[in-house]
Amino acid sequence: MAIVVNLDVLLAERGMGVGEFAERVGLSPANVAVLKNGRAKAVRFSTLAAICQVLDCQPGDVLRWEPVDEEIQD
C-alpha cells in the first residue's frame, strides 16, 4: 500500500508557496519537502490538524491511499 500526500495540489489550488505554508503550519521548509515528496514515515495528528486548518481542508484531502501491485513470491 502507498499513502500519497497531496500537498503540491492543495498549495497550488490556494496559490500558497512552501515558505508561507511552512511558517503558518509551524514546520521547517525541509520538513514540508519531506512530506511533499512522500518520504515521511509518520505525521503527527497535531501537524495534520494544523495543515488542515491552514489549507481549510479535511485530512482526506491531504492524504490518500493507493494500492500497490506487489508480486507474491512463493
Give tens-digit pLDDT for 31-60.
999 999 989 999 999 999 999 999 999 999
Asked if pLDDT for residue 12 goes beyond 70, the answer is yes
The reported pLDDT for the residue numbered 38 is: 87
Q: Are the CB atoms for 19 and 29 separated by under 8 Å? A: yes
Per-residue model confidence (pLDDT) at position 19: 96
> Which pTM does this prediction carry?
0.86
Instruction: Assess contact for 30 and 22: CB atoms under 8 A.
Output: no
CATH tag, 2-66: 1.10.260.40
Are the beta carbons of 38 and 4 closer than 8 angstroms?
A: yes
What is the dihedral sign for C-alpha 36, 41, 44, 48?
A: positive
Cell numbers linked to 22: 511552512
